[in-house]
Amino acid sequence: MPSLFLRRAAAPQELIGPLAPDEIAALVSSGDDCVSLDASAPFAPVVRELDRDAGLRDALLASFPYEGARPYARWRLALFSGLIPVLTLAVLDRELLAAGHPTARASLAIDALFVVACTADLARRHPRMPMVTAAAFASAGVRVLLLIAARCGQVHPLLLGLAGLSALSSIATLVLSPSPRALADHLRHALALAPPTRLPPASARGFYSYIAYAVTAAAALPLLLYVLEAYRVPIALQLLAFVLFALVVPHVGRVVIGREPAPLRMAVAQAADVPADSFVPSFALSRRALGRAGLAAVTMLVLSLALVRGSQDMLEVASRAHACAVGGPAIPSALQSFVDQEHAEVAGERRAPDLATLLLTVAVVPVAEELVYRGLVQHALRKRVRRRVAIGAAALLFGLAHLLVYKAVAWQTVLLGLTFGLAYESAGLLASTLVHMLWNLWLSL
């Protein structure tokens, strides 16, 4: 059984521990008391740490079991059957790769990522990312449906069984798995702690000015990109313009308008989940921040691939099913024309970039966009509205901004904005920037 260490808010210099998980309940007096699984690691307030630290939740759940997790424990091994369609598609992709199919390598990489992520989560007694696992299963099922629709249903019954197994596994994962939020709420109740969310009223000082500035900045960034490309500004100057925008505009919003610490200064503190007023840079803190942000980024990359690929495949399934129903693609439907337009836009973006363009796409633009859409817009909204509303609003603005660059695939950027927003909620600006960089790198390669 793991040991826990405690530092009380009233006496932060006093280290209490090692403690057994059941001893924490008697010693924690407020949500501001800080805990850690390692005496030498950074300490964070327990009321927030329960949402972000899965290891802490697992340690406490050993002493405070959650009754809602019993169905998951009973059926957990059966959920591994959802990997069967994914592995089947991986075998198919390997054969396509050997035959020289142009997209087989990317598909095989996605299959491998899905298998690793789902296996790692299902192997745990309490799931850490059930939504990601369910999305990966569903994405595989939609791809099987695409194979069925491409042949107008004239396929082996085994494919129908794989599609049904994917759907059943995805739904069962969502229904049976206790969410991290439910586990955290259960443990807060067991420790007699109040929930951490306390939203100020809309009449709080600076509410309208902060929101207005954030939305204006969100509209200005894509406009800047559009102007730079319309006037064919050299890449070097585009890099400089984005760097200046990213350094100045979000800083003014957070420091001058919001009267808060600068977003770049808080990136490590957010990822490590330590209070802003007690943040002191150190190697241990940076290592903790990078570990948490990296894990959140990889997790959200899996979710991004599942959502975007699954949604795109579903559109193609509907389009091909319509073609089968009318007897062929002699007269393309509006949906088929939209799908073709999407393919054309994506193909136009997938050309080998030079070093400067790659630097702009993979490093500079993600940093600038995350500082604005998550570090400014979502952060400002998050302090005034609910978590889901803040993530959704920031994602919608993120998608609308890309209408100046994309037309048909702009809706996909809304889905990406949701996953980037979840990464921000998990481990702050560092995590959302990392997953954004990984996504842009994936598209560039």
Query: 3-state DSSP call for residue 42?
Result: coil
Residue 90 tokens, joined: 């991986």
d(CA 187, CA 353) in angstroms, rounded, equals 49
Contact 125, 73 (CB under 8 A): yes
pLDDT band at 198 (very low <50, low <70, confident <90, very high): low
pTM: 0.91
Closest CA to 299 of 178, 120, 50, 142: 120
73-93 burial by CB neighbour count: b if 16+ within 10 A, else e?
Answer: eeebeebeebbbbbebbbebb
Contact 357, 175 (CB under 8 A): no
d(CA 16, CA 34) in angstroms, rounded, equals 10
pLDDT at 384: 78
pLDDT at 349: 61
Q: Which of 95-104, 265-274, 280-289, 347-356 has the lowest mean pLDDT?
A: 347-356
The count of residues in the chain is: 445
What pLDDT, in 10s, does the model give residues 60-103? 998 899 999 999 999 999 999 999 999 999 999 999 999 988 88
Out of 8-17, 25-34, 88-97, 273-282, the most confident range is 88-97
Q: Which of 34-43, 193-202, 406-415, 432-441 has the lowest mean pLDDT?
A: 193-202
Contact 366, 435 (CB under 8 A): no
Closest CA to 360 of 270, 229, 268: 229
Contact 187, 61 (CB under 8 A): yes
Tell whether the model's pLDDT for residue 260 goes beyond 80. yes
Residue written as token pair 């808080």 = 266
Residue type at 187 in one-letter notation: L
d(CA 26, CA 310) in angstroms, rounded, equals 47
Residue type at 84 in one-letter notation: I
Tell me the mean pLDDT in the region 310-322: 91
Residue 3 tokens, joined: 């040991």
Parse the chain into domains and list their residue ranges: 4-70, 77-177, 201-445
d(CA 172, CA 75) in angstroms, rounded, equals 9
Strands (E), 317-360: none
Out of 12-21, 69-78, 349-358, the most confident range is 69-78
d(CA 422, CA 399) in angstroms, rounded, equals 15
Query: 3-state DSSP call for residue 45?
Result: strand
CA distance readout (Å), 85 to 142, 161, 175, 285? 10, 9, 20, 41
